[in-house]
Amino acid sequence: MNVRPRTVRNRAGAPSQASGGGNASKEDIVVLLLQLLLKALREHARQAANTELRQMWVYLPLLRQLAEHPGITVNELARAGCMPKSQVSVLIARFARLGIVRKDADERDSRLVHVSITPEGRRQTRRWRAITRHALLRTLQPLSDDQRALIVEGLRTLLSALQPNAPHPFGVHAAVPQPREPRAQQSPAC
């Protein structure tokens, strides 16, 4: 794979070449390419989506947590999403007004609010994911089979490095999967 040389700043602030040659290590190039890829994917999803999705697509991971953990509290959801509780509370109120989530008071502690995704919320989430998936598939369409195979192999390798004990798509496992926790756990990336 050819990478166009690009000047970046190393940790000391000095310019270096982010290409196969130059001073940048392969690890630096991988990190830079991943950062650029994530930024491009976010921008691509925004451009491909309609106005409604542009406002909501960034909240899909939060909605996925709600779908996987019905009755989760706002505090648990904030921890799982690495977001401030106040921001999650505002989002939950907005989602409730849109009919995407349902808020229920705790029977024993009135300060706690349990949140669950509604059938309408599940339908909207599926729709938003389908729009994003379709946009990504259109992006991959002009690539050759060989180029797509290289992407698949690189992504599988990266996924194995990031999650060595997780199950991998299409029956390829790096190791035995670990049992899932019943409640949302705080992401180690917070």
Q: What's the mean pLDDT in 165-179?
A: 51
- Kindly report the pTM of this predicted structure: 0.56
62 assigned to some structural domain: yes
Given this model, what pLDDT does residue 147 score? 93
92 assigned to some structural domain: yes
37 assigned to some structural domain: yes
Q: For the chain, give me the number of helices (H) and strands (E)?
A: 7, 5
181 assigned to some structural domain: no
Could you say which DSSP state residue 7 is in?
E
| Three-state secondary-structure class, residue 86 | helix
165 assigned to some structural domain: no
163 assigned to some structural domain: no
Structural domain that includes position 121? 23-155
CATH of the domain at 93: 1.10.10.10
Query: Which residue has tokens 């050759």?
Result: 144
14 assigned to some structural domain: no
**Rounded Cα gap, residues 186 and 190, in angstroms:** 7
Q: How many domains does the chain have?
A: 1
Given this model, what pLDDT does residue 34 score? 87
